[in-house]
Structure 1
Amino acid sequence: MLDLFQNLAHGFAVALSPINLLLCLVGALVGTLVGVLPGIGTIATVAMLLPITFGLPPVGALIMLAGIYYGAQYGGSTTSILVNIPGEATSVVTTLDGFQMAKQGRAGPALSIAAIGSFVAGCAATVLIAVLGAPLTRLALLFGPAEYFSLMVLGLIFAVVLAKGSVLKAVAMIALGLLLSMVGADLETGASRMSFNIPELADGLGFATVAMGVFGFAEIIRNLDSGAESDRELVQQKITGLMPTRKDLAESAPAIFRGTILGSILGILPGGGAVIASFAAYTFEKKIARDPSRFGRGAIAGVAAPESANNAAAQTSFIPLLTLGIPPNAVMALMVGAMTIHGIQPGPQVMQKQPDLVWGMIASMWIGNLMLIIINLPLVGIWVRLLRVPYRLMFPSIVVFCAIGIYSINNAPVDVILAGAFGLFGYWLIKHDFEPAPLLLGMVLGTLMEENLRRTLQISRGDWSVFITRPLSAALLAIAAALLVLAVLPALRRKRDEVFVEG
């Protein structure tokens, strides 16, 4: 316990340095902006900002990217409540009761409960990260290459089980991601693989290039296609009465508590994340409510639970990233990309070798949550005004910004062309109901999986049975196999689809 307090004190000393405070504020502001403006998305924004992190210190860069991620969860609730447009996928459920409250003239209490719920959940999840960090790292140090390979297989299977829609399509996306990770030079021999004698592909596909294309450019094309700027019925009147009543607080407190617990658990699971957490929390509140018919008509618990859950999940998803080096979702996969850009090898060694990075980031989450309360409630009028900017004026500047960012990584024009090609491919995927997130996860984990697979087989002299003779590795593979069987079972597939259709 003493170690924990010493580590946190060290983390606050790092996070409170002027440059890190500024980057935390920038992350929180950009995150809120991304959440408020429909049609950009957290993954696309983090992908766009990856090139900027080259010029920043590693700790500051990750503090900023983390701020964007959990800041977007806050911002998404603002438009969900005021104009019935979810700024983020995680805020889809908030529209059901939040907008109804706004129509009843209770937008103020809905916004403040969303912000309070997010703040409480964010702080609780940060405590959980601090408490679980060291024990999980000690556990991770017991892992050898065989266990790491099995853990990554489990992570990819989780992504399949929890992906929305067809299991077969999710498996196909992961397989494609693994294939893309193998383009370039062989890890050991240096022989060229799948580069088709194209010199630009000799070093492999850049992670940022693929991420920017599949998420950034594809998102822009999708928004233009779907008419994202369709005339929005904006809230013109001034929002007053932000303070919730005692009855509001009494009704929402248990929902915030339950949403925080549920979100914290689902955030740790690979492939889970904030979207599933918000749906699950809303469904759970509706199931245990004395009067379920209140939901969808302005029940404050219908705002409190999903908003708490998505923020808790957004922050606890850092646990597998920081302790095991396994990204549980697409945003965390981008964080791995940012870490490798700075020469940091994600995994259990990070906590020992880079204490400034880990504890500075954990401490910055408390500071960031406090900043977000200040950014979101008093400045709500400014965020609503931003919604009036037509998307047709925004997208050219986003495209230019993306292109400059991609070019600046290697000063290679071919990277911009590749990102554009992946943008068209990403748009095709969206149109045909393929989720791009598992592809990114497969690409990030592919290189690490291959490395650990080869290392294991070298140690065992080519004996594949090592994966099932080592108890920890065998247990992880057994869980992965059981999950895959469950995912294919029709009953569970129906249940899983219901989670996304709920409401």
Structure 2
Amino acid sequence: MIDLWHGFGVALQPHNFMWSFVGVLVGNLIGVLPGMGALSAISMLLPLTYTMHPIPAILMLAGIFYGSQYGGAIGAILLNLPCHPPHAVTCLDGYPLTKQGKGGTALGITMIASFFAASIGILVMIFASPLLVSVAFKFEAPEMFSIMLLGLLCGGTMSRGPALKGASMTLVGLLIGIVGTDVNTGTIRFSLGFAELTDKVELVALALGLFGVTEFLRSVNRMEAVGGGVSVRLRDMRPSVAELKQSIFPMLRGTLIGTLFGAMPGTGPTITTFIAYALERKISKTPERFGRGAIEGVASPEAASHSKTQVDFIPTMSLGIPGDAVMALILGGLLIQGIQPGPQLITEHADLFWGLIASFWIGNVLLIVLNIPLIGIWVKLLQVPYRYLYPSALFFIAVGVYSTNNSLFEVSEVLVFGLIGAVFVALDFPVAPILLGYVLGPMVEENFRRAMLVSRGDLTIFVERPISAAFISVCALLILTQIFFALRSGLAERQFGESEHANLPVTEDV
């Protein structure tokens, strides 16, 4: 508790509090706008952190992350617009509630669920993270390689779409991550003759290209206004006692699911919300209500989303393994500040770690204070036409990238990665694993080479050490599981095709 009080002292310093407030406000605003999720917001504001102190920089990025989670629920509930994928399931019951005149109630339940789930997630962080410190010194190069390899496999195989596509995109990210000068040998790798690439591909250029420009290219033909004439009054957001009782246990179950999945590297928030929703519908005595305006269909997935958002920071900060693309970007922000995420971060950068935890509570209180009076303004912003929204975003992307190193070459990188990302998205390849591979790839390579130096080239070092062997076993199990599901799916499709062929009518030649 002493460390937590120290964290509140750090987070409430005027400079740190100001940037935390900016992050929550911007994240909430960006979360409301369709397509402009936390990933786009953090990508655009990441250059700003180059000249900032590490603590306010990370507090701002974290505020954007969890601020956008609540903002995304507003569009899903009021306008049936899943502003980013985790809120797609909220549309199923949130929008029917709005059509029944209970949109304000759904937003009120979302606000309560978000604060409750976030608080539980923060408590989990407080008690679980120090446990990792006790085993921190047992993590050497073989263990770090094994656990980061697990993060790469989880991110690649558990992403949207077929596992093979996700794994291939992770491999693309690994190749991009090793561009530049090898630290150990001084050899220049994959620079294509460009002197600007002898250092490395800039994280900001990669992120803004893959998520900012790609989204612009996908939405460039959408010229209509996003929102309609929806209004919500303040008193509409106060749920009744019966609605609160109906939501308590779904909140608890959603929080538990989000907490469990938050501690697992590579599991995105989308799968968490869908599992929470599916569980509520499965155990409900009246499953036919779901999809028609069941308040549990809003409370559980939103609680899962917010608890996962907080717990996601445990593997990112304590083990250096991001849970999804947004956490990979925040991990990149730490590396930009010269801070190496890992088990030693809690002791070496105690001000940053405990200040961040305290800022979560402060930020969630700020979210409640902001959203009660500003719901009407957020609804107005949902009516911004795409023809104004995305050109403005593209302008700020270009300015932000140029401002990092005053380099037009990096602006060109953004354009190239944007085009590449648009092609991948058009082919239904997920682009998030590219960022995961880029961030983790160099660290995987570094720890592998260090382990090889220690063992004099003996690969058995990874299975001789118990912790490393455990992670390698999980990696192997994950690969075998994906192969099994792929083979079973292929067999099922073949059997279905044969049965369809057998049922075709027989025609005779005339």
Fold conserved (TM > 0.5)? yes
1:27 corresponds to which of 13, 23, 26 = 23
Equivalent in the alignment of 1:79: 75
TM-score (norm 2): 0.93
1:134-283 to 2 correspondences below 5 Å: 134-225=130-221, 227=222, 229=224, 232-236=227-231, 238=233, 240-283=235-278
Q: Deviations over 1:159-187 (max 9, x none)?
A: 13321111111110111111111111112
Which whole-Å CA distance do the structure 2 matches of 1:71 and 1:236 have between them? Answer: 22
How far did 1:86 drift? Answer: 1.4
Structure 1 residue ranges without an equivalent (≥5): 495-503
Q: Is the alpha carbon distance of 1:198 and 1:231 closer, same or farther for their aligned partners in structure 2, counting shifts above 3 Å? A: closer
1:399 corresponds to which of 394, 398, 404 = 394
Q: Is the alpha carbon distance of 1:231 and 1:479 closer, same or farther for their aligned partners in structure 2, counting shifts above 3 Å? A: closer
Which whole-Å CA distance do the structure 2 matches of 1:54 and 1:248 have between them? Answer: 46
Which whole-Å CA distance do the structure 2 matches of 1:492 and 1:254 have between them? Answer: 38
**Equivalent residue letter for 2:128:** L
Number of residues of Structure 1 aligned to a counterpart in Structure 2? 489
Which whole-Å CA distance do the structure 2 matches of 1:228 and 1:266 have between them? Answer: 38
1:487 corresponds to which of 474, 482, 487 = 482
1:331 corresponds to which of 326, 338, 344 = 326
Equivalent in the alignment of 1:56: 52
Which whole-Å CA distance do the structure 1 matches of 2:234 and 2:431 have between them? Answer: 38
Structure 2 residue ranges without an equivalent (≥5): 490-510
Which whole-Å CA distance do the structure 1 matches of 2:488 and 2:159 have between them? Answer: 11
Which whole-Å CA distance do the structure 1 matches of 2:311 and 2:226 have between them? Answer: 37
Q: Is the alpha carbon distance of 1:423 and 1:369 closer, same or farther for their aligned partners in structure 2, counting shifts above 3 Å? A: same
Which whole-Å CA distance do the structure 1 matches of 2:412 and 2:480 have between them? Answer: 40
Secondary structure of 2:5 counterpart: helix
How far did 1:488 drift? Answer: 2.3
Residues 81, 94 of structure 1: 8 Å contact kept? yes
Is residue 322 from structure 1 mapped to residue 314 from structure 2 by the alignment?
no
Equivalent in the alignment of 1:94: 90
Which whole-Å CA distance do the structure 2 matches of 1:249 and 1:139 have between them? Answer: 41
Q: Is the alpha carbon distance of 1:231 and 1:401 closer, same or farther for their aligned partners in structure 2, counting shifts above 3 Å? A: closer
Equivalent in the alignment of 1:114: 110
Is residue 129 from structure 1 mapped to residue 150 from structure 2 by the alignment?
no
How far did 1:196 drift? Answer: 2.3
Equivalent in the alignment of 1:307: 302
How far did 1:10 drift? Answer: 0.5
Residues 231, 376 of structure 2: 8 Å contact kept? no
Is residue 456 from structure 1 mapped to residue 451 from structure 2 by the alignment?
yes
Is residue 295 from structure 1 mapped to residue 290 from structure 2 by the alignment?
yes
Residues 73, 88 of structure 1: 8 Å contact kept? no
Q: Is the alpha carbon distance of 1:493 and 1:120 closer, same or farther for their aligned partners in structure 2, counting shifts above 3 Å? A: farther
Which whole-Å CA distance do the structure 1 matches of 2:484 and 2:111 have between them? Answer: 39
How far did 1:102 drift? Answer: 0.8
How far did 1:230 drift? Answer: 5.1
Q: Is the alpha carbon distance of 1:385 and 1:97 closer, same or farther for their aligned partners in structure 2, counting shifts above 3 Å? A: same
How far did 1:238 drift? Answer: 4.7
Equivalent in the alignment of 1:477: 472
Q: Which runs of 4+ in 1 moved over 6 A?
A: 491-494
**Equivalent residue letter for 2:30:** V
Which whole-Å CA distance do the structure 1 matches of 2:233 and 2:6 have between them? Answer: 43
TM-score (norm 1): 0.95
**Equivalent residue letter for 2:455:** S
Equivalent in the alignment of 1:498: none
Q: Is the alpha carbon distance of 1:201 and 1:491 closer, same or farther for their aligned partners in structure 2, counting shifts above 3 Å? A: closer
How far did 1:378 drift? Answer: 2.5
Is residue 409 from structure 1 mapped to residue 419 from structure 2 by the alignment?
no
Who wins on radius of gyration, i.e. which is larger? 2
2:436 corresponds to which of 441, 448, 468 = 441
